[in-house]
Amino acid sequence: MVASPDSHPGSAPAADDDRHRLLITVPEVARAPHIGRRQAWELVWRGELPVVRFGRPVRVARPVLERFVMERSAPYRA
Protein backbone atom coordinates (compact mmCIF):
# COMPACT_ATOMS: atom_id res chain seq x y z
CA MET A 1 0.00 0.00 0.00
CA VAL A 2 1.41 3.38 -0.94
CA ALA A 3 1.04 6.22 1.53
CA SER A 4 -0.59 9.38 0.30
CA PRO A 5 1.46 12.59 0.39
CA ASP A 6 -0.71 13.88 3.26
CA SER A 7 -0.27 10.80 5.47
CA HIS A 8 2.11 10.66 8.37
CA PRO A 9 4.39 7.72 9.12
CA GLY A 10 2.68 5.37 11.53
CA SER A 11 -0.78 6.83 10.93
CA ALA A 12 -3.74 4.57 10.20
CA PRO A 13 -4.61 4.13 6.53
CA ALA A 14 -7.55 6.09 5.19
CA ALA A 15 -10.91 4.34 4.78
CA ASP A 16 -10.56 4.70 0.99
CA ASP A 17 -7.36 2.62 1.14
CA ASP A 18 -9.20 -0.13 3.05
CA ARG A 19 -11.82 -0.47 0.31
CA HIS A 20 -9.10 -1.25 -2.22
CA ARG A 21 -7.34 -4.00 -0.23
CA LEU A 22 -7.79 -7.43 -1.77
CA LEU A 23 -7.59 -9.39 1.51
CA ILE A 24 -9.40 -8.44 4.71
CA THR A 25 -9.47 -9.93 8.21
CA VAL A 26 -12.45 -11.79 9.64
CA PRO A 27 -13.30 -8.90 12.02
CA GLU A 28 -13.30 -6.60 8.97
CA VAL A 29 -15.61 -9.10 7.24
CA ALA A 30 -18.00 -8.74 10.19
CA ARG A 31 -18.02 -4.94 9.90
CA ALA A 32 -18.80 -4.93 6.16
CA PRO A 33 -22.35 -6.42 6.38
CA HIS A 34 -22.73 -5.34 10.05
CA ILE A 35 -22.76 -8.81 11.59
CA GLY A 36 -21.10 -9.94 14.79
CA ARG A 37 -17.49 -11.15 14.86
CA ARG A 38 -18.67 -14.51 16.21
CA GLN A 39 -21.09 -14.94 13.31
CA ALA A 40 -18.34 -14.08 10.81
CA TRP A 41 -16.00 -16.65 12.40
CA GLU A 42 -18.77 -19.28 12.35
CA LEU A 43 -19.17 -18.74 8.59
CA VAL A 44 -15.42 -19.39 8.27
CA TRP A 45 -15.41 -22.42 10.61
CA ARG A 46 -18.34 -24.04 8.77
CA GLY A 47 -16.57 -23.50 5.44
CA GLU A 48 -19.36 -21.28 4.09
CA LEU A 49 -16.95 -18.37 3.63
CA PRO A 50 -13.69 -19.44 1.94
CA VAL A 51 -10.47 -18.01 3.36
CA VAL A 52 -6.86 -17.52 2.37
CA ARG A 53 -4.18 -18.54 4.85
CA PHE A 54 -0.64 -17.21 4.97
CA GLY A 55 0.67 -19.33 7.80
CA ARG A 56 -1.55 -18.70 10.81
CA PRO A 57 -3.33 -15.46 9.75
CA VAL A 58 -6.70 -15.93 8.07
CA ARG A 59 -7.92 -13.49 5.43
CA VAL A 60 -10.94 -13.29 3.13
CA ALA A 61 -10.66 -12.02 -0.43
CA ARG A 62 -12.96 -9.04 -0.87
CA PRO A 63 -14.44 -10.41 -4.16
CA VAL A 64 -15.29 -13.66 -2.32
CA LEU A 65 -17.15 -11.71 0.38
CA GLU A 66 -19.01 -9.67 -2.24
CA ARG A 67 -20.01 -12.83 -4.15
CA PHE A 68 -21.04 -14.51 -0.85
CA VAL A 69 -23.41 -11.61 -0.07
CA MET A 70 -24.81 -11.39 -3.61
CA GLU A 71 -25.51 -15.15 -3.80
CA ARG A 72 -27.48 -15.00 -0.57
CA SER A 73 -29.43 -11.86 -1.39
CA ALA A 74 -33.17 -12.30 -1.78
CA PRO A 75 -36.26 -10.10 -1.57
CA TYR A 76 -37.47 -9.48 1.97
CA ARG A 77 -39.76 -12.31 3.22
CA ALA A 78 -38.91 -14.47 0.23
Decide which of 78 and 72 is more confident.
72
* pLDDT tier, 11 (very low <50, low <70, confident <90, very high otherwise): very low
In the chain, domain spans? 26-71
pTM beyond 0.85: no
pLDDT 10s digits, 12-65: 455 556 677 899 999 999 998 889 999 999 999 999 999 999 888 999 999 999
Strands of 23-25's sheet in order across: 23-25, 58-61, 52-53
Query: Which residues sit opposite 25 in a β-bridge?
Result: 59
Within its chain, how far is the Cα of 64 from the centroid?
9
